[in-house]
C-alpha cells in the first residue's frame, strides 16, 4: 500500500484509509475485528472514527489495541455520544469526548482529533479550538483537525490553528478543488477526503418511479455527455482512481462493513491504479461544464 506524508504533521499515512462509521453499526465485535485486522494486514494504517460512530471506538479497543503501533488513529469530537452528557460544541464536552475516546480505544494518546463539522459560529467563539489545543498540549492528541466543507472549512484553514482538513471530494463533488483544497495545501495542512466513492452512484441504476437525488442527477448528467475513452468499467475503480490521482489528497477514507468489499478496494488500489490521466482530465472537464 502506497503511503504519503499527512501535510505538516509528518505522519506517514496510507493513501487508502479506513472510514469506520459503518463498522460502528456492527453488533458483532468479531466481524469488526476481522475487518480492522484485514485493513492493517494489507497496509491500511489510517483509521478514521468518531465519538458518534456507534460501537466503532469500542471495537477498535477490543480488537486491535494490541497493534496500536501499526496505525494512525484519528477520531472526531463535538457531539453528545456514548456516555457523554452536556452541551454540544463546548470545551468541556470536547475534553470529555477525548477522554472517552482514549478509554474506549484503550490507548493513552490519539494521533488526530478533529472537530466534527461544526459551523462557523462555533469556530468563531474559539472555545472548541482552545479545548483541542489544551488536549494537544497535554499530549492527549498529537495533532488537531477540522472535518467539514464550504465556508466553515475555509474559516478553519485561515485560522491557522489546524493541522489537517477532512473534506468531501470525489468525481461528482469536486467543489472543494476550486478553493478549499488549494488553500489548505497552501497552509501545508494534511488533506483527508471523505465520501471518495460518491456513495457508489456512478453508473448505478435508478429505481423506476423514484426521484433521483442530487448525487444521482449529477452522475447521470456527467454520463450523458457521452462515453469516456479508456474509462474503467468498474465504477469503484473509477472513483478511487480519480481521487487518488489528485496529488494534493493525502488519504481517502472509504467505509465498509463488508470484508469482501474491503478486500476488493485494497486490491483495486494496489493492482489497478493509476487510471488514465485522460479519464481524470475528462471528469474534471465535465464537472466544470456543469457548474
**Residues carrying an active site annotation:** 53
Direct distance between the N- and C-terminal alpha carbons of the chain, in angstroms, rounded to an integer: 35
Output the CA angle 36-42-48, nearest 5 degrees.
45
Q: Is 205 helix (H, G, I), strand (E, B) or coil?
A: coil
SS3 of 203, please? coil
Instruction: List the one residue out of 13, 35, 10 whose CA is nearest residue 192.
Output: 13
What is the distance, to the nearest Å, from the Cα of residue 278 to the centroid of all Cα atoms in its chain? 26
C-alpha cell of residue 42: 494489507
**Contact assessment for residue 23 and residue 59, using Cβ atoms and an 8 Å cutoff:** yes
SS3 label, residue 201: coil
Q: Where are the alpha helices (DSSP H) in 126-234?
A: 127-137, 150-159, 180-186, 214-223
Amino acid at each position: 500500500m502506497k503511503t504519503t506524508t499527512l501535510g505538516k504533521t509528518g505522519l506517514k499515512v496510507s493513501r487508502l484509509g479506513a472510514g469506520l462509521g459503518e463498522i460502528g453499526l456492527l453488533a458483532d465485535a468479531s466481524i469488526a475485528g476481522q475487518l480492522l485486522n484485514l485493513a492493517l494486514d494489507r497496509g491500511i494504517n489510517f483509521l478514521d472514527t468518531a465519538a458518534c460512530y456507534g460501537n466503532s471506538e469500542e471495537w477498535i479497543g477490543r480488537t486491535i489495541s494490541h497493534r496500536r503501533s501499526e496505525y494512525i488513529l484519528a477520531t472526531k469530537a463535538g457531539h453528545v455520544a456514548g456516555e457523554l452528557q452536556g452541551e454540544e460544541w463546548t470545551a468541556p464536552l470536547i475534553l470529555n469526548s477525548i477522554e472517552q475516546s482514549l478509554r474506549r480505544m484503550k490507548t493513552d494518546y490519539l494521533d488526530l482529533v478533529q472537530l466534527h463539522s461544526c459551523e462557523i459560529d462555533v469556530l468563531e467563539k474559539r472555545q472548541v479550538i482552545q479545548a483541542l489545543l489544551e488536549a494537544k498540549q497535554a499530549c492527549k492528541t498529537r495533532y488537531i483537525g477540522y472535518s467539514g466543507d464550504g465556508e466553515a472549512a475555509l474559516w478553519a484553514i485561515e485560522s491557522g490553528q489546524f493541522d489537517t482538513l477532512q473534506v468531501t471530494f470525489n468525481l461528482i463533488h469536486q467543489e472543494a478543488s476550486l478553493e478549499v483544497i488549494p488553500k489548505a495545501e497552501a497552509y501545508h495542512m494534511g488533506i483527508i477526503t471523505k465520501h471518495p466513492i460518491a456513495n457508489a452512484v456512478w453508473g448505478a441504476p435508478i429505481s423506476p418511479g423514484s426521484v433521483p437525488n442530487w448525487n444521482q442527477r449529477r452522475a447521470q448528467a456527467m454520463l450523458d455527455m457521452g462515453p469516456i475513452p479508456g474509462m474503467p468499467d468498474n465504477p469503484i475503480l473509477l472513483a478511487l482512481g480519480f481521487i487518488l490521482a489528485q496529488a494534493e489528497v493525502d488519504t481517502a477514507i472509504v467505509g465498509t462493513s463488508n470484508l469482501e468489499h474491503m478486500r476488493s478496494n485494497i486490491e483495486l488500489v494496489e493492482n489497478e491504479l493509476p487510471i488514465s490521466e485522460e479519464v481524470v482530465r475528462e471528469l474534471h472537464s465535465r464537472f466544470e461544464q456543469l457548474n
